Amino acid sequence: MQQEAPAVDTTATDGPEIEIRGLHKSFGANHVLRGIDLDIARGEVVCVIGPSGSGKSTLLRCVNLLEEPSEGRVFVGGTELTDPDVDIDAVRRRIGMVFQQFNLFPHVSVRENLVLPQRRVLGRNKAEAEAVARKNLARVGLSDKSEAYPAQLSGGQQQRVAIARALSMGPEVMLFDEPTSALDPELVGEVLAVMRVLAGEGMTMMVVTHEMSFAREVADRVVFMDGGVIVEQGPAAQVVGDPLEERTRSFLNRILDPAAAEAPGARGEGPPAPPR
């Protein structure tokens, strides 16, 4: 494993699995991320919350270089992804990502959706890939849907297949970008239940979400972003239950009590508070 800066011992059990330093991202004149510093330890579940346009999804996509940072450094498992000489494909094999949309192959079965990436990317033989696929379909409660096609599944089932597909690649880190936002409300719970199991198994997880109950119950830490900066972060119970920053409180009030958002004076709080 390529080592990062000598001051960081990446073999230590409490060393960061994800390390982000001075991260900026601009799209033309739009400065989306403004100097993000963030560590995520091995086995830690971190939920990133914030209003639309705060930079949450862009931050997540920078972690596996689906978006190229404008400035800054990103390490995963001690390897710097932002090093121009890094084998980015090799590093990405250690990172699973689940998107808002399911992105399943519509023309093949659920089983083949899990088998094909393993064979093409990891070079596994058919028997091994199918054994891994069966194991991970069982983990997400879909063993009985192995031969179904994506169009025959509900949205929640399709998202669980997407999670199983990511797990079949053997990732050390899982990134979730609003994994329930495209689902009908009654299907959200089945996806969150799978994510709870993964968290309980010790998977390192970075989750962009608007599900505050999930963040409060499952996250080790919650990060609140606004205006491209981290405004507040800390234990889930503190950030979601008793936030320190007025900007965080205002956001959570609107999320947890949507009717209050329409009250006079509920809008236009002003610019985001500076990060603590």
Task: Report CA torsion sign: 263, 211, 25, 37.
Answer: positive
Beta bridge partner(s), residue 177: 208
User: Residue 9 pLDDT > 70, yes or no?
Assistant: no
Give the Cα separation of 53 and 49 in Å (integer): 11
Give the predicted TM-score (pTM) of the model.
Answer: 0.86
The per-residue pLDDT of the chain, averaged, comes to: 89
Q: What is the pLDDT of residues 56-87, one digit of tens each?
A: 999 999 999 999 999 999 999 999 999 999 99
User: CA 254, 258, 264 angle in degrees (round to 5)?
Assistant: 75
Helices 110-117, 155-167: axis angle to 10 degrees equals 30
Q: What is the pLDDT of residues 24-33, one digit of tens each?
A: 999 999 999 9
